[in-house]
Amino acid sequence: MKASELLGAIAASPLKAVGWLVSKVTGMSDEMDLDLFTLVTTSKPLPPNAKLLEPVPRILPNGVKAWVAIIPEEGKGLYYVEEPTLSEEELRAYKTLIARLQYVTKLEPRMGVEAYTPEALEAYIVEKAREVSEEFEVAGIYGLTKDKLVYYVKRDLIGYGPINPLMGDEELEDILIVGYDKAFIVLDRRWAELDWLETNITLSHDQLDQLARRLALMGKSTLSVAFPTVMCMIPTHDRVTATYRYEVSPNGTSISIRKFRKEPITIPQLLEQSVMSLQMVAYLWEIIEDKGVIFVVGLPGGGKTTLCNALSLMLKPQFHPVTIEDFPELNLPQENRHSLTARYSKAIRGEGGGKRGEQVGEVSQVDLLRQSLRIRPDFLIVGEILTEEAPVMFQAINTGLGGATSFHATDVHAAVTRLMEKTIGVDPAMLSMIDAVITVKRVKHPLTGEMVRRVPSIDEIKGVNDYNNVFTWTPSIDRFTPTDTRAIAKQSFALQKIKTRRGLTEEQIVGELNEKIHFLEDVSARHLERFSEFSGAIKSFYAAKARTVASKTEPAAGVEEKPTIVELPLKTESVEDRLLKRLQTRERA
Q: What angle do CA 83, 86, 90 make, to 5 degrees?
A: 140
pLDDT of residue 136: 60
pTM of this prediction exceeds 0.95: no
- Residue 151: what pLDDT? 85
pLDDT at residue 555 greater than cutoff 90: no
Per-residue model confidence (pLDDT) at position 565: 46
Quote the pLDDT of residue 112.
Answer: 45
Residues ≥6 apart with Cβ < 8 Å to 64: 81, 82, 83, 84, 165, 168
3-class DSSP state of 105 = coil
Q: Are residues 271 and 244 both part of a single domain?
A: no
The answer to the question of residue 7 being in a domain is no
Residue that wins the pLDDT comparison between 14 and 548: 548
Q: How much is the average pLDDT of 105-111?
A: 50
Q: 352 pLDDT exceeds 60?
A: no
Give me the residues paired with residue 79 across strands.
68, 199
- Is residue 555 one of the residues assigned to a domain? no
289 and 414 assigned to the same domain: yes
What is the tens place of the pLDDT at every residue in 375-431?
A: 888 999 998 888 888 888 888 888 888 999 999 999 999 999 999 998 888 888 889
Q: Is 197 within a domain?
A: yes
Residue 482 has pLDDT above 70, yes or no: yes
- Domain annotation covers residue 352: no
Percent of the chain with pLDDT over 70: 79
Q: Which of 2-6, 46-50, 356-360, 501-505 has the lowest mean pLDDT?
A: 2-6
pLDDT of 279 strictly over 90? yes
Could you tell me if residue 528 is inside a domain?
A: yes
DSSP 400: T
Residues 530 and 415 in one domain: yes
Residue 135 in this model has a pLDDT that exceeds 70: no
Least confident of 54-58, 93-97, 366-370, 567-571: 567-571
DSSP string covering 541-558, please?
HHHHHHHHHHHHTSPPTT
What is the CATH number for 544?
A: 3.40.50.300
Indicate whether 391 belongs to any domain: yes
The mean-pLDDT minimum among 118-132, 178-192, 303-317, 346-360 falls in: 346-360
Q: Which of 202, 234, 258 is the last residue in one of the domains?
A: 258
307 occurs within a structural domain: yes
Q: Do 227 and 276 lie in a common domain?
A: no
Q: What is the pLDDT of residues 184-197, one digit of tens each?
A: 999 998 898 888 99
350 has a pLDDT exceeding 80: no
Same domain, 203 and 286: no
Predicted local distance difference test score (pLDDT) of residue 26: 36
For residue 380, the enclosing domain spans 267-347+365-550
Among candidates 580, 290, 302, 586, which has minimal Cα distance to 441? 302
- Short-list 404, 243, 209, CA closest to 308: 404
Q: 279 and 248: one domain?
A: no
User: Which residues have CB under 8 Å from 308's CB, separation 6+?
Assistant: 296, 330, 381, 383, 404, 405, 406
How many whole angstroms separate alpha carbon 12 and alpha carbon 99?
A: 20
Structural domains in the chain (count): 2
Phi-psi category of residue 274: left, alpha or beta, with phi > 0 → left and psi -120 to 50 → alpha: left
In sequence order, which residues have a C-beta less than 8 Å from that of residue 338 and are 6 or more positions away?
320, 321, 322, 323, 372, 375, 377
We report the CATH number of the domain holding residue 234 as 3.30.450.380
What is the structure's pLDDT at 27?
39
Q: Are residues 281 and 254 in the same domain?
A: no
For residue 328, whether the previous peptide bond is cis, meaning omega lies within 30 degrees of 0, is no
What is the structure's pLDDT at 235? 87
Mean pLDDT (whole number) for 352-358: 51
Provide the pLDDT for residue 10.
37
Query: What's the mean pLDDT when you consider all of the chain?
Result: 82
- The more confidently predicted of residues 61 and 512 is 512
- Assess whether 509 and 393 both reside in one domain: yes
d(CA 403, CA 405): 7
Average pLDDT over every residue of 42-48: 84
Q: Which residue has the higher pLDDT, 2 or 46?
A: 46
Predicted pLDDT of residue 359: 61
Q: What mean pLDDT is predicted for residues 64-88?
A: 91
- Asked, for residue 50, whether it belongs to a domain, the answer is yes
How many CB atoms neighbour CB 572 within 10 A?
A: 7
Nearest Cα residue to 165 out of 84, 233, 86, 56: 84
* 274 shares a domain with 393: yes
Q: Do 59 and 207 sit in the same domain of this protein? A: yes
Minimum mean pLDDT among 274-278, 455-459, 502-506, 545-549: which range?
545-549
Strands 76-82 and 172-177: unpaired
The verdict on 454 and 318 lying in the same domain is yes
In this structure, the answer to whether residues 423 and 452 fall within a common structural domain is yes
Can you give the pLDDT at residue 122? 73
